[in-house]
Structure 1
Amino acid sequence: MNKLFSLLIAVSLSALLFSCGDNTSTPPTTTEPGTTAAPIPNISLSVVKTYPHDTSSFTQGLVIYKGKLYEGTGGDADNPVSSKNSHLLQVNLQTGKAEKSVPLNDHDFGEGITVLNDTVYQLTWTERKVFVYTLPDLKKVKEFNFNTDGWGITNNGKELIVTDGSGNLYFYNPSTFQLLHTQSVTHNGELAYNLNELEYIDGFVYANVWQQPYILKIDPNNGLIVGKIDVSDIWQRINSRDPDEVPNGIAYDTETKKVYITGKKWPELYEVQLGQ
């Protein structure tokens, strides 16, 4: 998301994660009176390798598919968050440079991307459109409308899984973009907030939490948060004072089993090792 939302939801930032401060605005917890809510288990993270990343890319989606890195970026004429508007990119991992680039029009703000069966799906934000492209040519072949804002998207090999900035995961039919079902994401009975960019890894959904230094590990079958990854050290390494340049972008290479993360307009992209 861009900074236009920051004022609208700043009052809920203290409730973004369940261990942070008083949270009177969230749904009531199911924890029994007199008991302490169990914390979200921490998952360790270590940087394996660092790659360059284009600082003009306002990263909204990150995917590795058949050895190729794809990135969806945000920005439009009404929300100029970087030096260029929204694009769908095929990026050279080693150099950080775009090898192919498909621009969106001036009034479509690009969001998350995913690839399923040689087909790229790219969300837009408040336009509530989904653009569909074929690989390897990145030719746009279809467009769907849907009923929520678009934030993040991934897939489980059969369904598209989408976020809209709430605490819900939405499951869609990839052929028709018909909503199949909705899954609330919770911990100790409390609803998650601001789920953003997504990646599906070995049966779990990993989600950036917008404006927070955390990636949540979610069981998509029941919506329970089973782990939390702290990316504070990497974010501090970027040393940006721009409130928009938040962690956003998770990619998993199913062939090599490598995980990559980055952020909006970050100068670096990281191969990381996750703990259990």
Structure 2
Amino acid sequence: MAAMLVGALLPGAVGVFGTGHQDDAARPAVLPDLGTPLGPGTHEVRLLRTDVRKTLAHDSRAFTQGLEFRGGTLYESTGLSGESSVRAGPPGKPPTVYAELPTPLFGEGITLAGDKLWHITWRDGIAVERDPVSLMERRRVAYQGEGWGLCHQRGAGQDRLVMSDGSDRLVFRDPDTFTATGAVHVRHDGRPVTRLNELECAYDGSLYANVYRTDTIVRIDPRTGAVIAHIDAAGLLTASERRGARELNGIAAVPGTDEFLLTGKLWPRMFQVAFVPR
């Protein structure tokens, strides 16, 4: 998509892969019309864009579902049944550690919580706890509903996981047991923002979410579910690169900076960016 989606999803085929939220292709992402003035009791939503600071290599075969950066290690999860994996290594380099998710499990988001790496699945209802160094599986925990994105929110009195399921709802979970502890619905000007996908819990306490099948990232106040910024991430790939790629679906805060790593499903490159005013 060449520009930020406003109000409805631009048409786009699911592609030859036939999996990966394909049954949602006919339903538009519900994203507010930014040309409409905000009503009483609402707040201004910042309009941002990506400013590329660095370009890195990315495995163009990786069907990216989750991205997490800790220290000098980038963790990435990939999807598709029979091809799902978790990998870890320096950004822009081949992974140094790799673990497959056995068929028929379909991998989705990941996050680090202390000495745990949590790895969720799409419709299998299974969260896998892994060792963050070896990526070895430790145990499996069952949950209800679909799994899309996952991040760990800590600080400011919070220590919880945040999980998306493709709707406007974010579920909070205990980082040790994976038990659901609450939820919040994401709204802009009173209207739901749906198809929340890959998540990133930033160091300042805010939450970022890719909006599935768009080039938009929303910044969310996790206390209220209010959208506080829209980020236009269109134009990162060239037209030729876009033909072989799928959706934007990977966001990871770069430790010690106000920058982020962005990539997507089957993208040949990864971008280190800052979010700046449009």
TM-score tier by shorter-chain length is 0.7 to 0.9
Is the CA contact 1:114–1:154 (under 8 Å) kept in the aligned structure 2? yes
- 2:6 maps to none
Q: Using the alignment, how far apart are the partners of 1:73 and 1:115 within structure 2?
A: 16
Which digits, 9 at most, give the CA deviation of each residue in 1:214-240, with x for residues without a partner?
000000000000001101111455632
Superposed displacement of residue 7, structure 1: 5.6
Pairwise CA RMSD = 2.6
1:221 paired residue number: 223
Are 2:15 and 1:18 equivalent residues in the alignment? no
Matching residue of 2:167: 166
Q: How many residues align?
A: 256
Q: 1:114 corresponds to which residue?
A: 111
CA contact (8 A) 2:259 2:275 kept: no
Q: Which amino acid aligns with 1:106?
A: T
Match of 1:272 in 2: 273
Q: Which runs of 5+ in 2 are unaligned?
A: 1-13
- Aligned-pair identity in percent equals 30
Residue 133 of structure 1 deviates from its aligned partner by: 0.8
Give the TM-score, by structure 1 length: 0.85
Alpha carbons 1:167, 1:184 under 8 Å: kept: yes
1-structure distance, mates of 2:237, 2:126: 31
> CA 1:5–1:138 in 2, change beyond 3 Å: closer, same or farther?
closer
Residue identity opposite 1:9 in structure 2: D
Who is 2:180 aligned against? 179
Letter matched to residue 126 of structure 2: K
- Structure 1 portions without partners, runs of 5+: 22-29, 78-84
What amino acid maps onto 2:91 in structure 1? Answer: L
Partner of 1:199: 200
1:71-90 alignment, distance < 5 Å? 71-77=76-82, 85-90=83-88
Partner of 1:66: 71
Write out per-residue CA displacement over residues 135-163 of structure 1, whole angstroms, 9 at most, x where no aligned residue: 31222111111111000000112101000
Give, in angstroms, the shift of residue 43 of structure 1.
1.4
More helix by share: 1
> 2:47 & 2:166 partners in 1: Cα distance?
23
Aligned partner of 2:236 in structure 1 is 234
How far has the Cα of 1:99 moved from its partner? 0.9
Q: Distance in 1 between matches of 2:240 and 2:211?
A: 18
**8 A Cα contact 2:44 2:228, kept in partner:** no
CA-CA distance at 1:253 after TM superposition: 2.6
Q: Provide the TM-score with structure 2 as the length reference.
A: 0.84
Q: Is the 8 A contact 1:19 1:39 kept in 2?
A: no
